[in-house]
Amino acid sequence: MSDKEREQKSSNVVWHHATVTRQRREKQNSHKGAVIWITGLSGAGKSTIAHAVEERLHSMGCRTFVLDGDNVRHGLCSDLGFSDEDRSENLRRIGEVCKLFLEAGVISLTAFISPFRKDRERVRSIIPHGDFVEIYARCPLEVCEQRDVKGLYKRARAGEIKQFTGIDSPYEEPVNPELILDTHLHTLDECVDQVIEMLRMRAVLAPACPTD
């Protein structure tokens, strides 16, 4: 489905502006909202990093939520497969959910392969300027295959899974991400530290947010 086909189908809807604004919610939260979009190959450590960062932020008193690729496909996107078109629609829906979380003043973290630049850029385009933070969990394919926590690479190599990113479907690396985490070179704690430091530098974590 093209972007044009996804345009608002009804003209009888009017956006309602809430009296409780994002700014008021952020003041109550003592930190700003943000969309932390973690992309990378399967096995690069995206989900592990997202949940570890959430644990750190939660311990600091921050409002957070992780949107994980597999979990989302159990509900919101259970009707989608893994064709290029379905993957694009999957990420479009996630982007809209992240936008809602942003209005709630929440720091949302996503863990999606999101292999195509155009799809990641589309999500960036719907998020207010500066609130979308792309993190590239960079890890060599051979290391990801060695990890193969879910056994997916083995199945893909055997031809049991088609259109598997890195094997018979491409992964387009981010051109200019806000942060690169070399997950094969750094420990999990080191990766989390880098993310927290970046959030402080971008003033997502306000001084009033308790430190760990």
* Helix, strand, coil tally for the chain in percent (to 5): 40, 15, 45
Question: In the numeric block, which tokens belong to residue 143?
Answer: 């290391």
Has 114 been annotated as catalytic?
yes
Q: Give bridge partners of residue 107 from the DSSP assignment.
A: 34, 64
Count of Cβ atoms closer than 10 Å to residue 53 Cβ: 25
> Alpha helix locations (H) across 22-83?
22-29, 46-59, 69-72
Count of Cβ atoms closer than 10 Å to residue 175 Cβ: 10
The answer to whether 68 touches 142, Cβ cutoff 8 Å, is no
Question: CA 144 to CA 178: how far, in whole Å?
Answer: 22
Question: CA 35 to CA 131: how far, in whole Å?
Answer: 6
Of the candidates 47, 114, 125, 169, the residue annotated as catalytic is: 114
Which active-site residues does the annotation give?
A: 114
